Structure 1
């Protein structure tokens, strides 16, 4: 007997079972269903309302079954497991060794050398004092090391979040005229960013960030990289009066408006020469992975050399802008600075939610990337709680929003980090820097910080992935372009809004306009496939076979019904032209239909009525457990008749198609 396969991918060959669950039964002598192998469509056991609701909640929020470890455990063990769940350090610290520490120590020193100059630059990007950037690489990494589940992620301020905060905060308070109030709003936003992240993790709502598609994130990051690089032209060219807007048109007008009197050529010389040095080291590191440390320590070397040059040449007297004094000492408390009431409370909340979501998206993406490379799992909800807690603590210790940095995490990974202890080593180096050597940064030129940031954000423009997205899915590419141009020509929040809108639009389009396919029989088999994909597949005379490739809900039920009737009209026109036999049976293949609601059932009832007027019989093939259960509950199975519901398309065709039409 030839191998038989339904178009949904189920194999039917000899002794087979229904895809609809374990409730299957045979009746080889049955004339009721006329199935050649004796199997008929099974009905899963009916569930009560509460059981169905509980299953839905469990699948949505607890798909990973977080409580399975707690089953049948004594109370003391449950308490220990709860502590380990909250503080993974209690688990991995027990097997920590000196060998692992060596890897973490080297990685920690390497990322510290990279983060110190970056933090000073990123703080400027957020219009905050330089020391706040360093504070944010001291406390948050220590909290994350205790609570985070990623071994490779490096915590601290990042370019995209710094730009986002700087853009949103300065719309509310002028950072130059009111630096104190501005810092207070920044700490308030950081607090609410942490609350947002922790709540998403605690209530297991991590799936919300999945609404930002990969393509939208690629476009958003590329747009942010271009915007950040443009913002650095102020420091790179030595311009004193620069636009506060972040869009490309305002920035370029500001740049060209200052070309005759605003540019400082000593500043340009410093910036350009060190940017060339940084890009060269990055190129060397890319060509030879073992030389990653060359690129990692290049920013610190640039800062040291440029600071020394400015100091001995007194270039600051020639108009070269310098960092000036960085406040010495570690993080002072800032709990009392957070706005707990007044109009800035709501503004801080709004900015914090946006910044927190962006920071979360970046951190989770980075954590998953490196976990996959080292073949271990990270718990997304645990990560959110860890990131949220570190930002809540950070907001109370003079930090602004910290998250996972891709460039630093890559360096951390290549430097051979073994655990989150590399973050602790980095934090200690930053602490020593704050306590001992911040006065040495006084003569650091702003141009060098601009060069370091431009060098860091170049890698955010992922043109290879953009090209791949273009080749694979044009709609995804539209989302990418929308996010990119939104950030570059409008602002970061508009770009983010466009990215989310296009991602949701794509989902809605797919939900409201699902794919349907006309199926034909592959010669000498009982396999039925899409006639567009398989031109050799032949239509069965007198029978039209349609497959619906989506759940049928109120959003698409009318479209599905109309689309099937349109297939039928097209088929009838073709039959009249070619004088072929009239369609007597319509088989709807339901294996891809995972679910159906009352609107979907209503649409099937209307389809049945429309077919009856045409004297065409409706037949269903291979309905899944949820679908058949709901069709029975709605008494649609009584309406259509049990003998019109089949296990596979081939069963239905064998029963209803003329014997001359079968080529198997």
Structure 2
């Protein structure tokens, strides 16, 4: 059926052609139950409880909510040796990073250690990832400093700022746990990959710029996070730059970058990069202590009190006039931390070929942040750098988090005085080194090559963060992503289909130039569900296709258009506005003396069309399973009509079966 040679089926084949069937109707509540189950329980968590005795159901229920009960009975001594090495390795990274990120959030450095003790223990019991290493992260720390700092000055009112940070962490945990319990994890998916790449890159750039305060030894610095404010603050204080601090910072930054580059080139030496931050802290502290550099402009951490996390439940500022700010900060930072943690967990689970439950992860993150807010911790999640080290160190289970927490506990009980002389410039170098790895230039280039709109979203998020604020960049990126999704819905694509030579296959003529148009037929494919948002557009677009086709036929002097075939294979669902649109299209086509034919409609579409009486109005015999069958039927009718017309003109009696 190609190259203009059409094959006409016999009368019997037309009578027996497969036509789309109307599915049997189901009770409304059964259909609603099925839809809700697929939306909120796509993984069917209750499947494992079927046909089980009560005792087994109880055990499975406990294992579902406490995953540690599932893998703990199979835990071996070999697993423990691997987890011990991994836990000690990530502890060496967690201690300096925790202190650094707490300073980034304008919080006391000790909170960074507190936040690496309690939350990992909670996650080890509730989390489903074997590789995720829990801790504080830079971007939520920056967000917290920016959003809370706009209302309360951390230097002038440190106690109120601290209480608001705990409150924001509490509400972030409540949000995360609620999304998990209500199984609303798909909300996080609205943060597209392009949005996250641009946002994280912009936030990392801002974080690096703000660390110039520590590198240059400045005491006063802007609370703004935009590029202009940071640059103005830096260059307005050139007389206060400390060359000693700058030299020390550049040296440690060079050391950290070299170790990272070496570990990347030689993956088996991953521990060199993992130990580099703690090594920098140790050497920096010794250098300051020996040279008394703190007297020459090199700022140090100062006193860190010994002891484990003090309770902070009474410090939650529920009745504070700034409670709205704390709630807003908690919701935004909670979503960002959740998206990052789940993305990191899923990425490393793919390497080991196992699955993590997104809803369980949300519950685990939420509960560890709720527990953390009551034990002097601020927001935690699964940072990429720490998880990568944990993975490369050969961790087997979440016990590596427990080992890390014990190592941090020992540090809190006995070793905190050793950090007194740790220079802030070393912490700034650690943060800059970590953030340079977050700026994913390769991903941005890939977006440019693959999808220009996604690249625009990425750049918008980046420049929004860098030149506006973290909140502005996030809003711009999410708004653009939502706009694109709405455009896909409101302006779905339609194609003209043609026949691939010597086959019954019909494809887009723009994609397959070899596909030939069938004379007298216009075959259109609608590439999206039909809703109120796109019904008007589709009606106008279909009529425009028909007008263009008739004009083209008239210009070429070919046979007139007789049939319009709509391929509905991609129309997964339709609403009342869509049905009204099809009714209007049919009336318009009828007025032109043409015939509307539907091909490949799905069960949901057939059910709606049947209930609306549309099928009865257009004659069910003009609804076919495939485009090929619809074309065959139309060609047969055209051929029959042409034969009868020829007989009548020649004086022969007409065939009663075809009249």
TM-score (norm 1): 0.94
Q: Classify the secondary structure of the residue corresponding to 2:566.
A: strand
Counterpart mapping for 1:30-41 below 5 A: 34=14, 38-41=17-20
Q: Tell me if structure 1 keeps the 8 A contact 2:170–2:330.
A: yes
Partner in structure 2 of residue 11 of structure 1: none
Of the three residues 290, 295, 304, the one matched with 2:268 is 290
For 1:72 and 1:133, locate their aligned partners in 2 and report how far apart those are by CA, in whole Å. 48
Deviation at 1:158, TM superposition (A): 0.4
Partner in structure 1 of residue 201 of structure 2: 222
Counterpart mapping for 1:534-573 below 5 A: 534-573=512-551
Of the three residues 583, 596, 605, the one matched with 1:627 is 605
Q: Tell me if structure 2 keeps the 8 A contact 1:198–1:386.
A: yes
Distance change (3 Å), C-alpha of 1:606 and 1:327: same
Partner in structure 2 of residue 433 of structure 1: 411
Distance change (3 Å), C-alpha of 1:661 and 1:414: farther
For 1:482 and 1:52, locate their aligned partners in 2 and report how far apart those are by CA, in whole Å. 42
Q: Tell me if structure 1 keeps the 8 A contact 2:147–2:325.
A: no
| Deviations, residues 327-377 of structure 1 (Å, cap 9, x unaligned) | 221100000000222423322211111111110000000010000010001
Partner in structure 2 of residue 508 of structure 1: 486
Q: Classify the secondary structure of the residue corresponding to 1:67.
A: helix
Q: Tell me if structure 1 keeps the 8 A contact 2:96–2:281.
A: yes
Report the aligned-residue RMSD. 1.7
Q: Tell me if structure 2 keeps the 8 A contact 1:112–1:430.
A: yes
Partner in structure 2 of residue 192 of structure 1: 171
Of the three residues 278, 287, 296, the one matched with 1:309 is 287
Of the three residues 400, 422, 441, the one matched with 1:444 is 422
Counterpart mapping for 1:243-642 below 5 A: 243-259=222-238, 261-642=239-620
Matched, 1:179 2:158: yes
Distance change (3 Å), C-alpha of 1:389 and 1:661: farther
Deviation at 1:30, TM superposition (A): 9.4
Deviation at 1:661, TM superposition (A): 13
Q: Tell me if structure 1 keeps the 8 A contact 2:498–2:508.
A: yes
Q: Tell me if structure 2 keeps the 8 A contact 1:35–1:651.
A: no
Of the three residues 173, 178, 182, the one matched with 1:203 is 182
Q: Tell me if structure 2 keeps the 8 A contact 1:139–1:427.
A: yes
Matched, 1:649 2:627: yes
For 1:461 and 1:626, locate their aligned partners in 2 and report how far apart those are by CA, in whole Å. 45
Deviation at 1:115, TM superposition (A): 1.0
Report the more deviating stretch, 476-485 or 278-287: 476-485
For 2:408 and 2:310, locate their aligned partners in 1 and report how far apart those are by CA, in whole Å. 15
Deviation at 1:654, TM superposition (A): 1.0
Deviation at 1:29, TM superposition (A): 11
Partner in structure 1 of residue 133 of structure 2: 154
Deviation at 1:465, TM superposition (A): 1.3
Q: Classify the secondary structure of the residue corresponding to 2:437.
A: helix
Matched, 1:42 2:39: no
Q: Classify the secondary structure of the residue corresponding to 1:469.
A: helix
| Deviations, residues 169-204 of structure 1 (Å, cap 9, x unaligned) | 111211001101110000000000000000000000
Q: Tell me if structure 2 keeps the 8 A contact 1:554–1:599.
A: yes
For 1:407 and 1:275, locate their aligned partners in 2 and report how far apart those are by CA, in whole Å. 16
Matched, 1:73 2:52: yes
Aligned length: 634
Q: Tell me if structure 1 keeps the 8 A contact 2:87–2:403.
A: yes
For 1:226 and 1:403, locate their aligned partners in 2 and report how far apart those are by CA, in whole Å. 21
| Deviations, residues 532-578 of structure 1 (Å, cap 9, x unaligned) | 00111111111000000100111111111111111111111211211
Distance change (3 Å), C-alpha of 1:422 and 1:578: same
For 2:619 and 2:384, locate their aligned partners in 1 and report how far apart those are by CA, in whole Å. 59
Q: Tell me if structure 2 keeps the 8 A contact 1:541–1:661.
A: no
Distance change (3 Å), C-alpha of 1:52 and 1:30: farther
Partner in structure 2 of residue 21 of structure 1: none
Deviation at 1:581, TM superposition (A): 1.5
